[in-house]
Amino acid sequence: MKPARKIALLVAALATLGACSNGTADEGDLGPLGALASVAGDVVASRGSRGDETPAAPPKSPAEAAVEALRVNPAPLIQAGFESLGRTQVMAMTGQNGAMRTYMTPAEEALILRNGMLIGTRGLGHDLSVAEPQTETLIRSGRSGNGKRVMRYFSGDGLERPLQFDCSVGAGPNPGVMVEDCTGHGLSFQNSYMGQGGQIAVSRQWIGPTLGYVTIQTLRP
């Protein structure tokens, strides 16, 4: 499939996930496509710098940045839209341990995924040390049910602080989308997942109280 066609399909999938959002006030002002539209092509633009005497290249759209990244980088790639930060970046895989993959930006900001499920973050501040979702099997199998989700965060003293949430999983309003609703500690959030070939290809997942949501789309498996 041509890169441009692939990106168009992924953007359409993100729109489908956006329709599943519960729209609560703590989700921030940007939806999945709003965050995606605010990108300045961080990865590709960083490759275009040649010194002070060279004019900066105009910002690339998210689709243009994704197509360029697919052309120049043979590694597995994702595009991540950080809603609270108002930016979207292409991230390349830098390490793999079994089903766990680490995707990183040139600034060494990282997402850790297990077959598309967000497991941790690094270098973003207020990082998610590790997520332990008991709902993962339900989400991947497309079944409804309930389960616990433990999210562990790095604190200022370097220790992990766990937050446990009660979650329910069910089919979303659009075909092929599974929705995970979680509550606990006075917080609530909703994750949306779209699977493809046993992987979570497109998703909108909650990182934590400070970083909020990230939309993740697979550019190259």
Strand-pair partners of 148: 166
pLDDT at 49 over 80: no
Q: What is the mean pLDDT of residues 90-108?
A: 96
Tell me the C-alpha distance between 52 and 24, whole Å.
44
Q: What is the mean pLDDT of residues 110-120?
A: 98
Nearest to 19 by CA among 214, 125, 177: 177
Q: How confident is the model at residue 43 (pLDDT cuts 50, 70, 90)?
A: very low
pLDDT at 199 over 60: yes
Q: What is the pLDDT of residue 85?
A: 93
Q: What is the pLDDT of residue 60?
A: 77
Q: What is the C-alpha end-to-end distance of the chain, expressed in Å?
A: 13
What count of other Cβ atoms lies within 10 Å of the Cβ of residue 151?
26
Q: Are strands 128-133 and 117-122 parallel, antiparallel or unpaired?
A: unpaired
User: Six-digit token pair at 63?
Assistant: 């689709």
Residue 17, classed as helix, strand or coil, is helix
Strand-pair partners of 204: 192, 215
Are 103 and 118 within 8 A, CB to CB?
A: no
Q: How many residues does the chain have?
A: 221
- Treating both helix axes as pointing N-terminal to C-terminal, what angle do 3-18 and 62-72 enclose, rounded to 10 degrees? 140
Q: What is the pLDDT of residue 63?
A: 87
pLDDT in tens, 155-183: 878 788 999 999 999 999 999 999 999 99
Query: In angstroms, what CA-CA distances link 106 with 118, 182, 195?
Result: 20, 33, 28
pLDDT at 152 over 60: yes
pLDDT at 29 over 60: no
Q: How confident is the model at residue 39 (pLDDT cuts 50, 70, 90)?
A: very low
Q: What is the pLDDT of residue 35?
A: 32
Q: What is the mean pLDDT of residues 131-150?
A: 97
Query: In angstroms, what CA-CA distances link 76 with 14, 101, 135, 165, 221?
Result: 19, 10, 26, 32, 5
pLDDT at 46 over 70: no
b/e sequence 107-142, b meaning 16+ C-beta within 10 Å: eebbbbbbbbbbbbbeebeebbbbbebebbebbbee
pLDDT in tens, 205-214: 999 999 999 9
Q: Which domains does the chain have, with CATH numbers?
A: 3-220 (2.40.360.10)
Q: What is the pLDDT of residue 11?
A: 53
pLDDT in tens, 53-82: 566 777 778 888 889 989 988 999 999 999
Q: What share of the chain in percent tops pLDDT 90?
A: 62
pLDDT at 34 over 50: no
